[in-house]
Every structure is written in structure tokens, then in C-alpha cells.
Amino acid sequence: MRAVTFDVSVPRFLLAKSVGRVTDSVLYGAFSGVKLVDRPAPTLPGAEWVRLEVLLAGICGTDIGNLTYSASPAMEPFGSFPAVLGHEILGRVVEVGAEVPQVAVGQRVAVDPYVHCRIRGWSGSDWCGSCADGRHATCERAGDEGPLRIDGAPFAPGTIQGYHRSLPGGWGQEVIAHRSQLFPVPDALDDRTAALTEPIGIALHAVLNTPHPHPSDPVLVLGSCPIALATIWSLRATGFTGEIVAQIKRDHEAAMARALGASTIVRPGDEAREAMVGTGASAYMPLVGDEVYAGGGFPLIYDCVGSRATLSQALRYATPRGRLVVLGCAAEMKNLDLTFLWARELDVRGFTGYGREQFRGETRHTYEIAHELLVEMAAPMDQLVTHVFPLSEAKRALGVAGNRRKWKSVKVLLDPTA
């Protein structure tokens, strides 16, 4: 089968760091580690597994960060390479193991790519605390080999399918998945919307685990990536009726934010400052450094960027005892002033992935809740998909995803069937 693979190395890391920014050559040049290859199709390792034809697979901002080595190296021990990339996967079932009752050949499914203890081959009594609690995205065995064997080899370490040597990701024509990873897609959802299940799930997981403020209190969402836009939608879908202020850079992203439920759009800088002052905040200029505020502010801020600039802004814009939810790929940061973390008694919490959620009196997986709400809300979520490329144009797709300003891209998908 055809697939896009990625391998890491110290020379590639040093080359990327020497360039210091996202460029086409760093993303997919001769020394990038990204290759379009022919490789054997995966085979089922057991009766609880299925084989899928990949219909669509997303390119995530995390992918761009990892391929350019701009993400923190702290997570490197929890991946294994070389790997077929792609953790946002919509597939069609083509082969079903004998112990997989919930899906049938021909059915569309969204794949939860996080690799947990059960997938690794551990029995229930040996599961880690996170997996036993239904929070498998933080599996504590991610750095270890598992007892399962794939094609005769030990199951490799890794947090997520797509950065996992044993489990090819969605940037290939076929994948295998454990039964616990599969979530049938309702017929009412088109392929493009269904392909967004993974980033929607990340946003919805954070929103479901963060109490809504009072409707009279505004929420600030920083960022215009798919997860930021899905956060706006998730707030509305779960019943928040108050003001949502969305900080958006570009016009095409602003239109999407409005369509998904944003009340007010502001650009970073002066417009964002005006929104802050509009909450009743008074502005003060210290002897050196950024402007600071007292009074007013936002009791809940979702930072879906995770940069030094946005985290600094969120810390200064939050009300005393406000909540700051970090959904962006926050990593190493220089000169981040944490003064208001303690001076405002802020609650800062990060989220990753998805899991078992309490919703409407039931315990269900985030994906199931997302599908239910997508059908109920009938929001134009498919508009987030701005570009779709065949695997043969994967390098071009990476270039478009890596330069959102030039190409007006939001979510870029690969179509391995094309």
C-alpha cells in the first residue's frame, strides 16, 4: 500500500533548529524524514482487531510541529519510529476479527488513536491507573513495549497511532485498529464532518470537563485552528448561552467562528485589548513589560494556541480565581511571566485527547457524544475543511497546512482513496 512515513534523527533535528521556522524544505525536503513509500498492508494481530480502508485523514498542527522539530522533545520517548503518520482517521471496515461484534464490513468508523493498556495486550488487572479510570489518553505505559506482538515483533512504545511503529496511521491506504478504538459514524454525517471527529473530540473533552461560567460572564477563546473553532461549537452544543469572544487572526477564520457560535470577533492586539477593557478592566503600564489589568476580565479562557504570547495574554486577561484551559501544544517557552498565576489565584488546566465522559446522565466516550451533538446541532462543521489532497500530493498538502496565511487553510485532509 501507499503511505506517508516519518522518521526522526539527530541530524534532522539540528537542521530544522538551524532554519528556525516552518519552511517547505524543513517540512518535506530531502532531509526532512517524510517519505511517500510502498509498504505491506497491515494484518490483524488478533480476534479483537479490524482492518480499515482509510477514507480521509487530517493534518494536525501537532504534525506540523513534530515534522519541523518545533515541538518540545519531552514527548519523544512516547513515540516510536519510523511510523506511518496520521492520527485523525475516518475509515471503512474491510475486515473484521471474530471478537468484534459492534461493526460490520462496509461501515464507516472514526478511530480513537490513543493507545491504551488493552491495546498493548495487558490484561485488566495490569492496566495503569489512567486506563482503569477511562482516561486512556494519559496511559502510563506509553513508554514501554507491550505483550502484544505485531507481525512477530514486540508491540512498540507510543502514545498515539500515527506516531507508532507498530500501528500505521491514517496517511496510508489501510490501518488496523482494536475494537475499543472504533466508533461508528451516523449516516447523517458526511465524510468531511466525520473526519473532524478527532479534533472536535479534543475540544469537547475539555469543555465537558470544565464548568461553564454564569451566562452573564464572557468566555474568551484564543486561536483559530480547528480545535479553537471546535471549542466555540462545543460551548454552544453543551448549552453555554453567554458571550463568546473569539480572538481570530484572519477573515476566513472569523467567518467560521461566527457560524459556529462566536458572539464577538477580535484581532490580537488593540481589538483584544478593547474587549478586555470592555469587561470593566482598568489598564496599567508597569515600568517595563506588557500592559496589566485589574477588575473585569474573563472568568474562563481557552488557549488553543499555547504560545508564549497567548499564555501571557491569558494570564493577564483572567479574572481573579479564573480558569485557564490550555489546549494548544504548549511547550518550551522563554520569558513567560507567571506572576498572575499566583497573584490572581488562577486555576490552570491542560487537556489531551478524549475518554469516558459524563453527559446527560450517562457515561460515554467523547466521540459518541460528539457524533450525537453534531447530528442534533446541524452546524456547518464541514466548512473547516478547506483543502483535500490525494496521498500522491502529500508534500503539497503539508505545505498548505503549514502556511495558513498564504493558502487560507484551516483543516487540510488527505484522501488515500483518490
Per-residue pLDDT of the chain (418 residues; tens, 9 = 90+): 999 999 987 666 655 555 555 566 556 666 678 999 999 999 999 999 999 999 999 999 999 988 888 778 888 899 999 999 999 999 999 999 999 999 999 999 999 999 999 999 999 899 999 999 999 999 999 999 999 999 999 999 999 999 999 999 999 999 999 999 999 999 999 999 999 999 999 999 999 999 999 999 999 999 999 999 999 999 999 999 999 999 999 999 999 999 999 999 999 999 999 999 999 999 999 999 899 999 999 999 999 999 999 999 999 999 999 999 999 777 788 889 999 999 999 999 999 999 999 999 999 999 999 999 999 998 899 999 999 999 999 999 999 999 999 999 999 999 999 9
CA distance 3 to 224: 29
Burial of 175 (0-12, 13-18, 19+ CB in 10 A): buried
pLDDT value for 32: 75
Question: Which residue's C-alpha cell is 478592566?
Answer: 281
pLDDT value for 26: 58
Consecutive H or E run containing 69: none
Q: Are 246 and 232 in contact (CB under 8 A)?
A: yes
pLDDT value for 378: 84
For the whole model, what pTM was predicted? Answer: 0.95
Consecutive H or E run containing 58: strand 49-59
pLDDT value for 69: 80
pLDDT value for 28: 64
Q: Which three cell numbers stand for residue 311?
A: 499564555
CA distance 171 to 86: 5
pLDDT value for 333: 86
Q: Are 367 and 183 in contact (CB under 8 A)?
A: yes
Q: Which domains does the chain have, with CATH numbers?
A: 2-195+380-415 (3.90.180.10), 201-350 (3.40.50.720)
Contacts of 363 (CB under 8 A, 6+ apart): 134, 356, 357
Contacts of 12 (CB under 8 A, 6+ apart): 31, 32, 33, 69
